Amino acid sequence: MIAVDRGRYTCVLDGPDTRVTAMRARELGRKSVVVGDRVSLVGDTSGAPGALARIVRIAERRSVLRRTADDDETTAEGRLERVVVANADQLVIVTALADPPPRTGFVDRCLVAAYDADIEPLLCLTKADLAEPAAILDYYAELDLPYVLVRPDSDLGELRERLAGRVSVLVGHSGVGKSTLVNRLVPEADRAVGTVSAIGRGRHTSTSAVALPLPPASGDTDPGWIVDTPGVRSFGLAHVSAESLLHGFPDLVEGTVDCPPNCEHTAGEAECALDAWVAAGNADPRRLQSYRRLLASRAGETE
């Protein structure tokens, strides 16, 4: 299933590239259907204009990428958990090196979500013609995080190699060049491109997630799929357990070995071993600060 629009689902059949419009069958009950789901169809699956099939079964998902609508309980949506995409292999975190500058807090949230979903993260640094990547790469040096650099004149060959044979979800703040990148990867996608305002915030352009097959390159047997998601201002983690949140910071995990039982690892924990671990140079202090900010946010405190 490649797109959702007002209760209609666009599905692509296995084998020949036949696209079928379908609706969710009543017998599915409250089960939601999301982009990336593999489904069973009945009815008219010809793909002819006006044809409508029914989705009667959703296959077991091998991965589920989730985000909470917002970590702030005071908002109208509260802590509504949303499935972003099912059956993804890779989370491509798109962030600009300048205009707007990179926000490591957002990247940290995405990394936690990726590790929680058991999918691989990839850092895609756009606008590499405007600034050097040294600062952000230094911040993630202990993670051995894979990354690619993208410039307006780059051929995207390295990125295409990392996307080949996979279902990759692209996430990023509006204004970082995600829609431009999607249009370069899939020219017929025609995703709307926004601008960056004077205060460094992009205007939201994409409004719904959609899966797009990558065009085959020479020698490709499976060029892969990308899932373009709407630009987001937050990636809430209220659905992630405290233990899983820690594993989103693998550079800090070993430092908790000497913590007392049931240590919450917050700044108020006098016997938390993480402070000594960082002071000894085993991790970047900014990483510990980010981890504790996310702990506080997950607990409903103001970030």
Contact in structure between 240 and 110 (CB atoms under 8 Å): no
Specify the pLDDT at position 51: 95
Residues 6+ apart with CB under 8 A from 160: 185, 214, 217, 223
Average pLDDT over residues 289-300: 85
CATH for 242-298 is: 1.10.40
Specify the pLDDT at position 192: 52
Whether 99 has a binding-site annotation, put simply, is no
Q: Residue 202: is its pLDDT beyond 50?
A: no
Specify the pLDDT at position 303: 47
Q: Residue 98: is its pLDDT beyond 60?
A: yes
Q: Residue 56: is its pLDDT beyond 80?
A: yes
203 — pLDDT class (breaks 50, 70, 90): very low
- For the segment 2-35, what is each residue's pLDDT rounded down to a tens digit? 777 778 899 999 866 789 999 999 999 888 899 9
Whether 179 has a binding-site annotation, put simply, is yes
47 — pLDDT class (breaks 50, 70, 90): very high
The vertex-128 CA angle with 204 and 167, nearest 5°, equals: 60
Whether 127 has a binding-site annotation, put simply, is yes
- For the segment 137-164, what is each residue's pLDDT rounded down to a tens digit? 999 998 989 999 999 999 999 999 999 9
198 — pLDDT class (breaks 50, 70, 90): very low
Rg (CA), the chain: 21
Whether 144 has a binding-site annotation, put simply, is no
Whether 11 has a binding-site annotation, put simply, is no
Specify the pLDDT at position 5: 74
Contact in structure between 212 and 182 (CB atoms under 8 Å): yes
Q: Residue 204: is its pLDDT beyond 90?
A: no
CATH for 64-228 is: 3.40.50.300
Specify the pLDDT at position 80: 65
Q: Determine whether 255 is exposed, middle or buried from the number of CB atoms within 10 Å of its CB (0-12, 13-18, 19+).
A: buried
Residues 6+ apart with CB under 8 A from 7: 23, 24
Whether 134 has a binding-site annotation, put simply, is no
DSSP per residue over the chain, as a string?
A: --EEETTEEEEE-SSS--EEEEEE-GGGTT----TT--EEEEE--S--TT--EEEEEEPPPS-EEEEES-S-TTSSSTT-EEEEEES-SEEEEEEESSSSPP-HHHHHHHHHHHHHHT-EEEEEEE-TTTS-SHHHHHHTGGGT--EEE--TT---HHHHHHHTTSEEEEE--TTSSHHHHHHHHSGGG------B-TTS-BPP---S-EEEEPPP-TT-S---EEEE----S--B-TTS-HHHHHHT-HHHHGGGTTSPTT----TT-TT-THHHHHHTTSS-HHHHHHHHHHHHHHTT---
Least confident of 29-43, 56-70, 151-165: 56-70
Whether 176 has a binding-site annotation, put simply, is yes
Phi, psi (rounded to 5 degrees) for 81? -85, 135
Q: Residue 288: is its pLDDT beyond 70?
A: yes
Average pLDDT over residues 283-294: 94
CA–CA distance, 191 with 188 (Å, rounded to integer): 9
- For the segment 214-269, what is each residue's pLDDT rounded down to a tens digit? 998 766 678 999 999 875 556 778 788 888 899 889 999 999 999 999 899 998 88
What's the whole-model pTM score?
0.86
Specify the pLDDT at position 137: 96
Whether 68 has a binding-site annotation, put simply, is no
Whether 31 has a binding-site annotation, put simply, is no
Q: What percentage of residues in the chain have a pLDDT greater than 90? A: 63
Whether 256 has a binding-site annotation, put simply, is no
Specify the pLDDT at position 30: 86
Whether 300 has a binding-site annotation, put simply, is no
Average pLDDT over residues 37-59: 95
Whether 172 has a binding-site annotation, put simply, is yes
Domain with CATH 3.40.50.300 in the chain: 64-228
Whether 272 has a binding-site annotation, put simply, is yes
Whether 204 has a binding-site annotation, put simply, is no
Q: Residue 212: is its pLDDT beyond 70?
A: yes
Domain with CATH 1.10.40 in the chain: 242-298
Specify the pLDDT at position 236: 77
Q: Residue 201: is its pLDDT beyond 50?
A: no
Whether 171 has a binding-site annotation, put simply, is no
Q: Residue 301: is its pLDDT beyond 70?
A: no
The vertex-113 CA angle with 30 and 137, nearest 5°, equals: 160
